[in-house]
Amino acid sequence: MAADFIPGIVRSVPLIDDFLDVIFTSLDAEANGPFLRLIRRVTFHLHTHNEYCKSATGRCLIFYLKKGRDSQVAWPDIATSMELMVREDRLPVVVLLDNVRSMYNVGAFFRAADGVGLEKLWLCGITAHPPKKAITKTALGAEETVAWEHDWDAVHVAQELRRSGSQIAAIETGADAVDLFEWEPRFPVCVMFGHEVDGLRPELLKIADVRVRIPMRGEKKSLNVATAGGVVLYELLRKWKARG
């Protein structure tokens, strides 16, 4: 949607604070949790990216917030429209974490996910999810700006993502895995990371379309899972941007 079709578009970003006051006092936090997280993510993006605020998409998002404040559009319709526009600005990559035990690692994934504009984080199995102080310690607020969801069944999530058209990539250290820097991903992509010691479970490896490894040139054969996540995500961002 182009902002040119919206008369009297809101151009003053500070007005968002007024909209948020209405949003968070009029909506039940428990019943509208996913939508409230979306609002936080969008408004954070608008506050911290001045050039984005001037773009057609940014102005449209502000417009929808204003519509919601004035009760001119139903909140579910606003949520749908905003989600579509936010996704258009996202890196078409989803990260699936299965049984990652350290909350600090989870927080670091949130931080890297925010940095590349990740579409979504799936936190599966025993992987911790917000709100947790240990996650916030390394995420530094990124848990409020990145879309995430928890599911106990990582296999089911991976299968659904595959059915929806995502290439499923298992990040592991096996010699038969393709080198990260030689891999030609087929976007959209879901990259899976497993337990810090045991790695990905065999059930998930079976689902993977490709296995990808980070080349290691020293004595150690692997990286910390969150460090590996940052390397993989930024390489995917590089390859996505190279597509033009």
> What is the per-residue pLDDT for 201?
95
Question: Do 124 and 92 touch, CB atoms closer than 8 A?
Answer: no
Q: Would you say the pTM of this structure is higher than 0.85? A: no
| Per-residue pLDDT tens over the stretch 192-226 | 999 999 999 999 999 999 999 999 988 888 899 99
Q: Name the CATH topology of 91-242.
A: Alpha/beta knot (3.40.1280)
> What is the per-residue pLDDT for 243?
85
> What is the per-residue pLDDT for 160?
94
The yes-or-no verdict on residue 161 having pLDDT over 70 is: yes
> Which tokens in the block code for residue 182?
């030689």
| Per-residue pLDDT tens over the stretch 121-142 | 999 999 999 989 999 999 998 8
| Per-residue pLDDT tens over the stretch 19-53 | 455 455 555 555 555 555 655 555 555 544 444 44
| Segment of 47-51, 65-69, 81-85, 109-113 carrying the highest mean pLDDT | 109-113
Question: Do 169 and 185 touch, CB atoms closer than 8 A?
Answer: yes
What is the residue extent of each domain of the chain? Answer: 9-88, 91-242
CA atoms of 236 and 23, how far apart (whole Å) = 35
Percent of the chain with pLDDT over 90: 51
| Segment of 43-57, 100-114, 163-177 carrying the highest mean pLDDT | 100-114
CA atoms of 57 and 130, how far apart (whole Å) = 28
